[in-house]
């Protein structure tokens, strides 16, 4: 498949750009932050996005979705990254929607229409340590009657506050560190024994510690078979990774564009600073790196769309490369802006913080480079 966007994709991008520019410019995100909004996003805006079909972009038509394909979802995330839009799109419409593809029919019927309509937000309750490491899961899922009893705690769960449901990975056998013995559950947030406590992170988005204290779930809430939960979650994780890669590409691109514009305006030593070769070469290098990121993101989106169960390596490539370059883009933005780049008034710092979080979530550079190397046999 050619590594270019189709006309349909370009139309979606234009629509997304227009919508986000009007409804969710960076000033909106800033306002959410300044007002210490407990959700970190606007449910009203999310409702509007759902009405446009975004919330169900990956969901099959029989559940009300658009089934537009993954490249479309990645494009929306890229545009969201550009304006630092905050929404549960990644959690609910990309990660959960992908995981639920592999769920039993009753779970699908229960959740997918609500995700599509924006009525339900679903978050991924996965991490237990400070580094992304699904196999390290120690939260337990004990057999209890026809169902399971969950005990343990998940941290850094993004979009957790106000979530209506959680995708939960828990251990039914084996020890932390083993990839086997994990099971994946879809848990309603209203069940007794489940509680969330907000965590404030640097990017001002919505995170929480979610605690499961003897939470009872039924066998019907299981996605895939017992003990094979990690493999079952893998496509959803890869969807999230490629999604984050796309979002970071949007962030980087925007940082880069604004910085380049600034280089054409600011004068020092009687000259436009953009005429200094010391800055030009770094800008040109960053431009080149961004081109590589874009290629990896397009390819990852296409491959995932074609075959979501075999997109692990390309997802790792996209996530690693995009994260690495995004960090460079943010650093260069602040540096080239000089003193004002350090001020809260400028957006560069907001991008830097969003990028810092996004590159860490679902595996940082080292995590993915390591995976990539293993696949390549070294």
Partner 1 sequence: MSDLEEFQAKTKNWLEENCPKSMRKPMRNEFDACWGGRYCEFSSEDQKLWLQRMGAKGWTAPEWPKEYGGGGLNKEQAKILKTELAKIKARPALLSFGVWMLGPALLKFGSEEQKKQFLPPIVRGEIRWCQGYSEPGAGSDLASLQTKCDDKGDHYLINGQKIWTSYADQSDWIFCLVRTNREAKKHLGISFILFDMASQGVSTKPITLISGKSPFCETFFDDVKVPKQQLVGTLDRGWDIAKYLLTHEREMIGGSSDGSMGGRGIGEIAVSALGANENGELVDSALRSKIATAELDGWAFLLTMERSKDEAKAGHGIGARSSMLKYYGTELNKRRFELLMASKGLSALEWEGEASNDGQLPRQWLRTKGNSIEGGTSEVQLNIISKRILGLPDPKVN
Ligand X SMILES: Cc1cc2nc3c(=O)[nH]c(=O)nc-3n(C[C@H](O)[C@H](O)[C@H](O)COP(=O)(O)OP(=O)(O)OC[C@H]3O[C@@H](n4cnc5c(N)ncnc54)[C@H](O)[C@@H]3O)c2cc1C
Structural Rg of the chain based on CA atoms: 21
| Contact call for residues 241 and 304 (beta carbons, < 8 A) | no
Work out whether 366 is an interface residue with ligand X (CB under 6 A): no
| Contact call for residues 108 and 63 (beta carbons, < 8 A) | yes
Residue among 145 and 278 whose Cβ is closer to ligand X: 278
Work out whether 32 is an interface residue with ligand X (CB under 6 A): no
Size of the chain in residues: 378
CB burial readout 152-175, b (16+ within 10 A) else e: bbbbbbbbbbbbbbbbbbbbbeee
Q: Which of 260, 266, 331, 335 binds partner 1 (CB under 8 A)?
A: 260
Which of 90, 217, 105, 16 minimizes the C-alpha distance to 113? Answer: 105
Residue 305: how many other CB atoms lie within 10 Å: 19
Contacts of ligand X in 166-205 (CB under 6 A): none
Work out whether 8 is an interface residue with partner 1 (CB under 8 A): no
Binding segment toward ligand X, per CB under 6 A, in 64-72, 109-117, 204-212, 272-280:
272-280
C-alpha dihedral, 33 to 356 to 77 to 298, nearest 10°: 170
Work out whether 275 is an interface residue with partner 1 (CB under 8 A): yes
Q: Coil, strand or helix: which one is 120?
A: coil
The enclosing H or E element of 188 equals: strand 182-188
Q: Which of 16, 141, 157, 298 binds partner 1 (CB under 8 A)?
A: 298
Work out whether 342 is an interface residue with ligand X (CB under 6 A): yes
| Contact call for residues 116 and 56 (beta carbons, < 8 A) | yes
Residue 364: how many other CB atoms lie within 10 Å: 17
Size of the site for partner 1 (CB under 8 A): 39
User: Which of partner 1, ligand X, none has residue 378 at its interface (CB below 5 to 8 Å by kind)?
Assistant: partner 1
Burial class (CB in 10 A: 0-12, 13-18, 19+), 264: exposed
Which of 354, 359, 347 minimizes the C-alpha distance to 320? Answer: 359
**Rounded CA separation 214/199 (Å):** 22
Work out whether 264 is an interface residue with partner 1 (CB under 8 A): yes
Work out whether 277 is an interface residue with partner 1 (CB under 8 A): yes
DSSP 309: G
User: Which of partner 1, ligand X, none has residue 339 at its interface (CB below 5 to 8 Å by kind)?
Assistant: ligand X
Work out whether 276 is an interface residue with ligand X (CB under 6 A): yes
Work out whether 320 is an interface residue with ligand X (CB under 6 A): no
Work out whether 266 is an interface residue with ligand X (CB under 6 A): yes
> CB of 337: closest distance to ligand X in angstroms?
6
**Rounded CA separation 232/203 (Å):** 30
> CB of 278: closest distance to ligand X in angstroms?
4
User: Which of partner 1, ligand X, none has residue 41 at its interface (CB below 5 to 8 Å by kind)?
Assistant: none
Work out whether 335 is an interface residue with ligand X (CB under 6 A): yes
> CB of 319: closest distance to partner 1 in angstroms?
10
**Rounded CA separation 265/232 (Å):** 52
User: Which of partner 1, ligand X, none has residue 342 at its interface (CB below 5 to 8 Å by kind)?
Assistant: ligand X
User: Which of partner 1, ligand X, none has residue 272 at its interface (CB below 5 to 8 Å by kind)?
Assistant: partner 1
Q: Which of 18, 38, 219, 338 binds ligand X (CB under 6 A)?
A: 338
Question: What are the C-alpha distances in Å from 37 to residues 29, 41, 80, 200?
Answer: 10, 7, 19, 11
Work out whether 219 is an interface residue with ligand X (CB under 6 A): no
User: Which of partner 1, ligand X, none has residue 2 at its interface (CB below 5 to 8 Å by kind)?
Assistant: partner 1
| Contact call for residues 197 and 209 (beta carbons, < 8 A) | yes
| Contact call for residues 88 and 46 (beta carbons, < 8 A) | yes
Q: Which of 49, 182, 194, 317 binds partner 1 (CB under 8 A)?
A: 317
Residue among 209 and 292 whose Cβ is closer to partner 1: 292
Q: Which of 135, 279, 313, 346 binds ligand X (CB under 6 A)?
A: 279
| Contact call for residues 99 and 169 (beta carbons, < 8 A) | no
Residues that bind ligand X (CB under 6 A): 266, 268-269, 273, 276, 278-279, 335-336, 338-339, 342
Residues that bind partner 1 (CB under 8 A): 2-4, 260, 263-264, 271-272, 274-277, 280-281, 283-285, 287-288, 291-296, 298-299, 317, 320-321, 366, 369-370, 372-374, 376-378
């Amino acid at each position: 498949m050619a590594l270019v966007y189709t006309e349909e994709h370009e139309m979606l991008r234009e629509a997304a750009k227009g919508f986000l520019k009007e409804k969710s410019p960076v000033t909106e995100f800033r306002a959410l932050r300044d007002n210490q909004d407990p959700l970190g996003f606007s449910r009203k805006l999310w409702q509007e996005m759902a009405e446009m079909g975004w919330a169900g972009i990956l969901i099959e038509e029989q559940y009300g979705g658009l089934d537009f394909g993954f490249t479309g979802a990645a494009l929306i995330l890229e545009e969201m990254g550009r304006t630092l839009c905050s929404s549960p799109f990644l959690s609910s419409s990309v990660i959960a929607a992908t995981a639920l593809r592999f769920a039993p029919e009753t779970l699908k019927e229960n959740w997918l229409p609500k995700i599509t309509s924006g009525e339900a937000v679903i978050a991924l309750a996965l991490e237990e340590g400070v580094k992304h490491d699904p196999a390290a899961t120690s939260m337990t899922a004990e057999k209890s009657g026809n169902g399971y009893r969950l005990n343990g705690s998940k941290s850094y769960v993004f979009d957790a506050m106000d979530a209506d449901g959680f995708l939960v990975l828990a251990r039914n056998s084996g020890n932390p560190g083993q990839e086997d013995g994990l099971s994946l559950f879809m848990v309603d947030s209203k069940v007794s024994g489940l509680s969330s406590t907000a965590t404030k992170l640097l990017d001002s988005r919505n995170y929480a510690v979610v605690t499961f204290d003897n939470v009872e779930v039924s066998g019907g809430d299981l996605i895939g078979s017992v003990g094979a939960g990690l493999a079952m979650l893998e496509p959803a994780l890869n969807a999230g990774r490629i999604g984050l890669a796309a979002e970071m590409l949007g962030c980087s691109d925007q940082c880069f564009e604004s910085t380049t514009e600034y280089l054409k305006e600011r004068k020092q030593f009687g000259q436009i600073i953009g005429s200094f070769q010391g800055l030009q070469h770094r800008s040109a290098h960053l431009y080149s790196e961004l081109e590589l990121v874009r290629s990896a993101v397009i390819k990852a989106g296409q491959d995932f769309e074609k075959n979501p169960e075999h997109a692990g390596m390309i997802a790792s490539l996209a996530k690693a490369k995009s994260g690495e370059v995004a960090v460079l883009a943010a650093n260069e933005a602040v540096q080239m802006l000089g003193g004002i780049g350090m001020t809260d008034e400028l957006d560069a710092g907001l991008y830097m913080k969003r990028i810092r979080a996004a590159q860490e979530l679902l595996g940082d550079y080292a995590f993915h480079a390591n995976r990539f190397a293993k696949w390549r046999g070294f």
